[in-house]
Every structure is written in structure tokens, then in C-alpha cells.
Amino acid sequence: MAELSNALGTAASRTRFVGLRRLVRRLPPTAKVGAAILLFWIVTVLTIHFWPVADPLAMVGRRLQPPSGDHWLGTDALGRDVFSRTLHGSVWSIPIAIVVVAFAVAIGSALGAVAGFFGGWWDAVIMRLVDVTVSFPPILLAMAVAAMLGPGLANASIAMVIVWWPIYARLMRAQVLEVREREHVEAAVAGGAGRVRVLVVHVLPLCWTPTLINATMDFGQVVLLAASLSFIGLGATPPSPEWGSMISEGATRFYNWWIAFGPGMAILSVVLATSFLGDGLRDAFDRRAG
Amino acid sequence: MKHFRLKKGLTALLLAGAAFNAAPVAAQNSDTLVIARSMDVNSLDPARAFCDTCQFYLTAVYETLVTLDADNKTLKPNLAESWDVNENFTEFTFHLKDATFADGSPVEASDVVWTFERLKNLKASPSFLMDGLTSAEAVDAKTVKFTVDAPNSEFLNKVSAPYTGIINAEVAEANGAIAGDTAAEADKSEPWFLANSAGSGPFMLASYSPEAELRLARNDSYWGTEPAFSEVVVTQIQDAVSQAQALETGQVDIAMQIDPDTAQSIRSGDVTTEVVPSYNFLYIGFIPGAKDMADVLTPEVRQALALAIDYDGMLDFTVGGNGAKQAAPIPNGFPGTAGLTPRAQDIEKAKQMLADAGQSDLKLVAGYPNDNVYGVDFNIMMQKVQQDFAAVGVELELKPLTWAVWRDELGAGEWPVTAIYYAPDYYGSGQYVAYFGMIDGFPWTNRASLGKGELVVNPAEADLYAKALASSGAASEEAYTEIGQAMMDDAIILPLVSPNLVLAYRNDIEGVRYSACCNLPLAEISRK
């Protein structure tokens, strides 16, 4: 919740935690479910090595066994435990989503803020770049970049940052355009503050809400796109138990439905969770604003 | 943005379901044979085509001089009713039957000469079949004589390959085909061959739409026995599961690419499945010429790695046991293979050899096409290799690649290990030596050495190969056995599995078989 409190931390640090508590209280039940699911996956990522589950890379049983007491989600074509692989898959997907969203937010917001605040030549160049990038379908652009860089999750992550930053640039620019006209900003400018200082101290702290909501929702989308890239062979390389590559292994063996079921449900849970949480956060912020 | 989130969230699951997109074709009780297949057509011109789909298409539309009998060993007459071979296997004379092309004109010696010269001069993928051909002459209208530059006891087998199917020279020439020395540049007939055919076979090309459908119509003026179906439709269905479903629902009569695992899950009583051994195999290849590998991938290290592989486990994991181990890169059942014993795993020896070679913490990279061929998923196969190598302390990093990237990186020596597959073009072991032999200038020698021939060339193989081609029968087989042993000792090519093939068809279909030269002979199939 550190991110959240930072986001709310405008000037009054003492009201910060009061505001946070009020915000959590305002979240609808679905958002709390979403938060719980995300929390589960984050805890899983951090503690998976201590879990009493099978080695995700080792052959632990006969191949293609349906779910049973020993192997809750069955075994895959190499006799590996699908349940364990699904849990271990989070170690790839969740951190990647965090990194990609963080980079996309950082790059997109910085450029968007510059474009919105300084306007003119900066605005023209940055926003045209945004237009060019978003004019490609995201999956196609990500595929093209990933194909050019070669397979691997690092390259897939770079591809996804390239796809994602423009959204944040637009969001931040729109927000900055609005905030910079406010009186306190004019007052700061009139008081002789430098332009960069005005942007960082007086404008940006008021611009984070839409970005935060969007970032929450995008988290799930990044998990999904990363899985899609792995599905088509441009993301994770074997034998890593990445969800997309696991689904791809299962897709050619559809009668052995359990191979794709675990990772499919995992992706579904993350995407739903972030959708719920994002929706809830937006409603909560909206009500606060209104 | 947000309104689409939920729907998008489900796409992950639907991705897998997207496989189900079988084309709606009605099959049962009709005069049309419908076949499900993921087509790999590169061309429909006999001299340019080189693919598994091409094999059975060309067999149905063009006819070869000789063809392979159902025992997959014996050559039998096709367009040629008889043939003579001189004592040292350099001159081959064929006597033609009174056959006619689909347009009614007779098949003459001049057509045969034209076809073979064009095949040689086009310098396309199957042109290697004519390597060494020095002259082709029409002795008279029904007799044709070929001379090769060195003894070649396999020439007869070569002319059973579907790519040597005889083309109606007048018709093809009228549409831009050229047989002369300039053929490689001047021949502009490839598009014509995608829409038309000019053969003497029981079927003619009706239409072809890439990635969708290949449609053959019966040649009503066929000189031989009339085929049972008036039409054959090969419909594009990508994967094994979708093919199996199309077969179960009766949308198709035959599914060509069902793997044994999928075959076991077919429950419909209307479908027959037969599992037969195939001559296809998948292998890993070592590339000592790759970057910084000259002093690493020495013969000893390669042999050690070959001993590290669990060949029995490989069979189980890749094809569920529905396949066979293979010793040398010559398929089981081909001349000379009876005397070869497949390798067995020996982890202790492998470790010892690696330690002796000073390679106790070896790290290698394997680049391979990310594909599923003959029911074997390369990713599964290579993860098994990765595990086996890990057991002897060798770390193998896997790089599944698209075909285009794989080809580029292979040529650039980006990685020292690769994996790929091979299927025969005709019955005969010589083609395997010509492809896998560590003989100067041969394809895999170039691939593995990347210009540093001294790393891999095995001089003994060239002599043995010449000996094999200059003899026939037992003497030739013995030479092939020795070459096979030499190739095993080279440890450049490690065959991992020869997958069984599933013949899957509706119960009312008969005559389905697997041919080593021609894949699926369409003209022999009928409905009960």
C-alpha cells in the first residue's frame, strides 16, 4: 500500500493515513476481493520457495496424468506438476507486470508532464510520438519488437514498455493541462518559482489519481500480454513455468485440459482482480472528489 | 479503456480454444474424398516443390518412371515398363509404357528428357536428385537413356521420388517453363503450376488456395486404372486436435497429422486409427563451427553428450512411447541400418569423458524452430535434452525461434546445438549420406563446420559412400552400415526419436497407407 499512500500524500502528511483508511472503507466488496487475490499472488511470489510443493522443473510423476490427490492439477507432457508450475509461474508474471507498469508509468508520466506543462515544441514532438506508437495495435507492436529483439522475458518486457508508455503520457498530459491553470500554480509562478520546481512541487502531486487507477488496471493487462507473447513463443523460454508458455503447451493437447487450466485460471484471476480493484479505486476517488 | 477489461481477461483461455476452426466440408457418402492436413506447400511445380504435402500431390498428378511398392522397399514399374542398368551403375535405360498425359498426348522419351533436364537446371530444392547426371537422351520415342558421372546404384530409387514426375513438355513450355541451362533465371512458370497441372497421373489440379484448400479432379482420360474418387479435397486444418474432431464429426474422411496421444483420445466408433512406423526422425545436431566452440565441442565432448541422453525416456516424453529409437541418421528399415545398434544412456561414462576433456561446467545454447512436427513438440523434446544434459553437469539454454530467425542464426553460428527433422524423398540410404555425411561440401558438413571443415570432415566416409554407390545388394548395405557407424562416431547428428505415424480415417474408407516416397497414394483410396 506504499504506492497508494504516496499517491494520496499531497501536502498534508498527517491526514495521509486517515485518508487511506477512509479510502479502503469506501472500496466496494469486489475491489476488496480483487485486492485479496493480488495480495495472495504477491505473497506467493515472495514465499513460493518455502511452499511444500513439487519442483516445477523436475519430473515428479508419469506424463499427462489427470488431476489427482498427488498432483492437484495433473502433470504435463514432461511429467511435471502443473499445480506447482502454476504457482511458480507467478514468479515470472507478477514481477514482470510490476516492472513493466512501473517503467511505463515513469517514462509515460515524465514525458506527458513535460508535454503538458511546457507545451509548444515539447508537446508537439512528444505527442506525435505517442500518436505514432498508439496507431499500431498493441499486440502487433509488441510482437514486432519482441521478434526483433529475440525471445526472452527481458526483451518481451522492453516490448511491452514500448507499447504501454503512451497511455500514461496522454493521461498525465491531460491532467497537467488542467492543474497548471489552477490558482495555486499561478500563485507559485507569480511568486517567482522556477518552472521545473512548479511542475514537480505544485502540479505533479495533484495529477496522480488517474495514473494510479489506470496502472492498477493495466497490471492485469500486462500479465495477459506477457502470457500472449509467451504463448506465441516470443516471451519466456523453456523450461520456465511461465503461464503463457504453459497454456501454449496445453493448447496442442486439448484433451489433456488440465495443462492449460491452471495457468489459464491464474491469468484470469489476476486480470479480474486488477479490474475489480481498479474499478473500486476509481469509484472511491471519484466520490472523494465529488 | 476499462469496459473491455473483462472480455480481454478471458482471451487468455480463449487463445487455446482458437484452435477449433475446422472448415465446413461435407464428406460422407460422396464421390469426394476430403483430407484434413496442415499444408506446407512451397510450390506445386514438380521441379521446385519440396514438402510433405507436395509428395502426395505430385504422386497423384504426375507420374514417375518407377515407383515404390507397398512393401516400401521394392521398386515397381510406373511410366517405365522395364529398365536396364549397366554393370557399373552409370547408364540407366528406361522403356516407356504407352501412357498419355491428361490432354491426350502420349508420354514420350522427349518429355522425360525435358523433365529431368529442367529438374537439374532449375537448381531448386529437389534438384539434388539429378546431381551427377551428365546426359539424358531419347534413344527413340519410347526409350530414354541417362548417364551419370560416377557409379550410382541409387539412381533408380531417386527416379521414384515424386519430384521426378514426368511433365508434359509442350504444355509446360507453352506456359513459360524452360528446361535449358538458363532455366534457373528464365523459367517463369511457377505461378502457372499453382493453378494448372501437366501430368499423366490419375488426378489433375483443380484449384489451390494457399492456407485453405487444395482441390484435385479426376483425370477422366487417365490411361491406367480409374481412381475411385472424382474429386479429392485437402482442407487446411492446423492442429492434431482439430483434425481429430473434424474426423470424428465426419467433416473429413482422412486426417493426416494426428499424433499418437491425440489418436488415443478419439472415442468415435466411426473412425479407424492405425499406428505404423514411419521413416521420419527428429534429431539434434552439434555445430562445432559455431562461435567459440571449436575447442569445446570436440568429438569426445560430443560423444559424451550423446551418452548423456536418456533415449528411452525421450521416446516416452515426445511420443508417449509410440515411436522407435534410431542409431544413425538413416531411418530404421533403410539399407544398412539392420547392423546398427542405437546408443544407450551412460551417465557415469559421459561425466568421466567430460571431466577428461576438461569440460566439467559446460554451458551450451540450443537454437531450434519453435514447432510441432510429426506429433513431436520441439519444446518438450528440447526440455528433455536440457534435463538429461543437466544430469551430467552441462547447462543447456533453450532458444525456440521462428523458422526465419532460426535459419539466419544457424548460418551465423549463433549457437552450437540445434534440433530439426528429416523425412525421406525416396527409399534409399544414399540420400542420408548425401545430407548428413561429414564429407567435404555436403550440407550438414557445411552447417556443422561453418567454413572450418577440418573440425568435422571424416575422410573415411567419402570412400565408403563411393563404395556403396558402386555396388548393390548386400555389398552396398554393408558399406551403408559402415557409414552409419562412422556417422554415429562423428556424433554430429544425434537422432532422438523416429515417431510412429497414425493413419486415421473414417471406417468407410479403405486403401490408406504410408509410402516412404509418396506419403499417401491418393489413387489407391476408395470408399466401401
Longest dimension (CA), chain A: 75
Confirm whether A34 is domain-assigned: no
Contact A77 B316 (CB under 8 A): no
**What pLDDT does residue B98 have?**
95
Confirm whether A150 is domain-assigned: yes
Could you tell me where the beta strands, DSSP code E, fall in B57-140?
A: 66-68, 75-77, 80-85, 91-96, 133-140
pLDDT at residue B26 above 80?
no
Angle at B248 between CA B247 and CA B250, to 5 degrees: 65
Angle at A10 between CA A7 and CA A13, to 5 degrees: 100
Considering its fold, how many domains does chain A have in total? 1
| Among B58, B44, B32, residue whose Cα is nearest residue B201 | B58
Domain B32-247+503-527: CATH superfamily, name plus number: Periplasmic binding protein-like II (3.40.190.10)
User: Which residue's entry shows cell 570436440?
Assistant: B298
Contact A271 B5 (CB under 8 A): yes
Q: Which of A223, A229, A237, A246 to mutate to test the interface with B (most CBs of B within 10 A)?
A: A237
Contact predicate A272/A95, CB 8 Å: no
User: Which amino acid, residue B389?
Assistant: F
pLDDT at residue B14 above 80?
no
Confirm whether A214 is domain-assigned: yes
Average pLDDT for B59-67: 96
pLDDT at residue B73 above 70?
yes
Q: Residue length, chain B?
A: 528
**Residue of chain A whose alpha carbon sits nearest to that of B240:** A252
| Among B480, B130, B160, residue whose Cα is nearest residue B334 | B480
Nearest to B399 among A147, A151, A264 (CB): A151
pLDDT at residue B27 above 60?
no
Least confident residue range of B12-16, B451-455, B468-472: B12-16
Give the C-alpha separation, A241 to A108, whole Å: 31
Give the C-alpha separation, A283 to A17, whole Å: 19
Least confident residue range of B25-39, B108-122, B281-295, B395-409: B25-39
More confident residue, A3 or B467: B467
Question: Which residues contact residue A254 at a Cβ distance below 8 angstroms, ignoring those fewer than 6 apart?
Answer: A260, B16, B19, B241
Q: Which chain A residues are within 8 Å of B399, Cβ to Cβ?
A: 150-151, 237
C-alpha cell at B143: 526409350
Other C-beta atoms closer than 10 Å to the C-beta of A178 total: 13
ipTM value of the model? 0.76
Output the tens digit of pLDDT for each of chain A's 290 residues.
444 444 444 444 445 556 777 777 888 899 999 999 999 999 999 999 999 888 998 888 888 899 999 899 999 988 899 999 999 999 999 999 999 999 999 999 999 999 999 989 999 999 999 999 999 998 898 888 888 887 788 889 999 999 999 999 999 999 999 998 888 888 988 888 888 888 888 888 888 888 999 999 999 999 999 999 998 888 888 888 999 999 988 887 878 899 999 999 999 999 999 999 999 988 888 765 54
Q: Which chain A residues are within 8 Å of B396, Cβ to Cβ?
A: none
Contact B12 A221 (CB under 8 A): no
Helix pair A243-251, A82-118: axis angle to 10 deg: 130
Confirm whether A18 is domain-assigned: no
> Between A and B, how many CB-CB pairs are < 8 A?
115
More confident residue, A78 or B166: B166
Closest Cα of chain B to A77: distance in Å? 6
Contact predicate B144/B96, CB 8 Å: yes
Closest Cα of chain A to B254: distance in Å? 19
Q: Which chain A residues are within 8 Å of B240, Cβ to Cβ?
A: 252
Confirm whether A41 is domain-assigned: no
Nearest to B383 among A238, A254, A260 (CB): A238
How far apart are the two ends of chain B, measured CA to CA in Å?
Answer: 58
Closest Cα of chain A to B398: distance in Å? 6
Confirm whether A248 is domain-assigned: yes
Q: Which chain B residues are within 8 Å of A278, Cβ to Cβ?
A: 2, 5
Nearest to B241 among A249, A255, A267 (CB): A255
pLDDT at residue B305 above 80?
yes
| Among B277, B398, B39, residue whose Cα is nearest residue A239 | B398
Q: Which chain A residues are within 8 Å of B316, Cβ to Cβ?
A: 63
pLDDT (tens digit per residue) in B202-224 = 999 999 999 899 999 999 999 99
pLDDT at residue B18 above 60?
no
Give the C-alpha separation, A172 to A174, whole Å: 5
Closest Cα of chain B to A277: distance in Å? 12
Residue A100: give the domain boundaries.
Answer: 54-275
CATH number of B281-499: 3.10.105.10
C-alpha cell at A115: 508535454
pLDDT at residue B490 above 80?
yes
* CB contact A33 to B (< 8 Å): no
* CB contact A276 to B (< 8 Å): no
Give the pLDDT band of residue B23 (cuts 50, 70, 90).
Answer: very low
| Among B213, B309, B306, residue whose Cα is nearest residue B252 | B213
CATH code at position A106: 1.10.3720.10
Using DSSP, state whether A246 is helix, strand or coil: helix
Contact predicate B102/B163, CB 8 Å: no
Contact B16 A77 (CB under 8 A): no
Q: Which chain B residues are within 8 Å of A251, Cβ to Cβ?
A: 15-16, 19, 239
Give the pLDDT band of residue B261 (cuts 50, 70, 90).
Answer: confident
**What pLDDT does residue A195 have?**
86
| Among B475, B472, B483, residue whose Cα is nearest residue B442 | B483
B positions 308-327 inside 8 Å of A (CB): 316-317, 320
Confirm whether A46 is domain-assigned: no
Confirm whether A28 is domain-assigned: no
Give the C-alpha separation, A281 to A234, whole Å: 33
Q: Which of B3, B4, B5 to mutate to test the interface with A (most CBs of A within 10 A)?
A: B5
C-alpha cell at B351: 561425466
User: Which residue's entry shows cell 559446460?
Assistant: B362
A17-41 burial string, b = 16+ CB within 10 Å, else e? eebbeebeebbeeebebbbebbeeb
Look at the alpha carbons of B316, B319, B323, B327 in this order and tell me if their dihedral is positive or negative: negative
pLDDT at residue B173 above 50?
yes
Q: Is the peptide bond before B106 cis (omega within 30 degrees of 0)?
A: no
Contact predicate B65/B167, CB 8 Å: no
Domains in chain B: boundaries: 32-247+503-527, 281-499
Environment class of residue A222 by beta-carbon count within 10 Å: exposed (0-12), middle (13-18) or buried (19+)?
Answer: buried
